Amino acid sequence: MPRREEPRTRPISPVRRSSRSGRLKSIHARRGDPDDLAQILVTEEEILAKLDELALRVAEDYKDKDLILVGVLKGAVMVMADFARALPFHAPMDWMAVSSYGASTKSSGVVQIRKDLDTDLNGKHLLIVEDIIDSGLTLSWLLENFQSRGAESIEVLALLRKPEAAKVVIDCKYVGFDIPTDFVVGYGLDYNERYRNLRDVAVLAPHVYS
Ligand code: PRP
């Protein structure tokens, strides 16, 4: 059984958050050409606040259950790091590495496993942690794959979702933000392995990939 603790608030003071916000422009300037980004879509502050909110819901929903978090590499690294720390109890973490995009901006629909889970899912309550649901093809494949391994329950948490890009319907219980179909980068999301370390989610300027 995971050891449960009393809920606690995130130990980030308003001062620290506002000073982060003040540094955003120079951070973007240092991590890539700011002209590569057409628009900041979701700020770091909005992301952290939303993950706090989702963590409270998840904590309530799983208060009597053994929860395991499964992150989908590589994009979900930042979401997992902040979401897991917002949870008021310990939850084991495992990772699956898949890729469906390669160097393209469009999902191929062909999912390749690059690293499998270390955990036996039989009888486990699984929460898949994703950065984005775009076409939904990756998650559709993952859900089928995990169901075949005997998980007791499977839910999905996704920071971002593009409803207008959906090719398959994914039942996602915990959604951060619904966004337009623009190609977005930052907070784990990449284009050609760049921009993952941006603190915000931003729209990539079309001239970068056209
Ligand atoms: C991205 C993202 C999701 C998937 C969503 O992964 O992290 O896993 O695409 O797209 P879909 O809903 O259209 O299937 P990607 O394949 O780019 O690999 P990465 O996480 O390593 O960047």
CATH number at residue 67: 3.40.50.2020
Domain count, the chain: 1
Lowest mean pLDDT among 11-20, 32-41, 110-119, 167-176: 11-20
Of the pLDDT bands very low, low, confident and very high (cuts 50, 70, 90), residue 128 is very high
Q: Please identify, by atom number, the ligand 1 atom nearest to the C-alpha of residue 131.
A: 7
Residue 33 falls within a domain, yes or no?
no
Residue 122 falls within a domain, yes or no?
yes
Q: Please identify, by atom number, the ligand 1 atom nearest to the C-alpha of residue 100.
A: 16
Rounded to the nearest 5 degrees, what angle is found at the Cα of 48, between the Cα atoms of 114 and 70? 25
pLDDT for residue 209: 87
Residues labelled catalytic? 134
Residue 193 falls within a domain, yes or no?
no
Q: Report the distance separating Cα 209 and Cα 190, nearest Å.
A: 12
The domain of 75 spans: 44-179
Lowest mean pLDDT among 12-16, 97-101, 175-179: 12-16
User: How many CA atoms, within 13 angstroms, populate the side-chain half-sphere of residue 3?
Assistant: 1
Q: What is the DSSP letter of 114?
A: E
Q: Please identify, by atom number, the ligand 1 atom nearest to the C-alpha of residue 135.
A: 13
Q: Are strands 93-99 and 112-115 parallel, antiparallel or unpaired?
A: antiparallel
| CA neighbor of 101 nearest in space, from 193, 204, 179 | 193
Residue 199 falls within a domain, yes or no?
no
How many Å lie between the centroid of ligand 1 and the Cα of residue 185?
Answer: 11
Does ligand 1 lie within 6 Å of residue 162's CB atom? no
Q: Name the residue with the closest Cα to ligand 1, atom 10.
A: 134
pTM score of the predicted model: 0.84
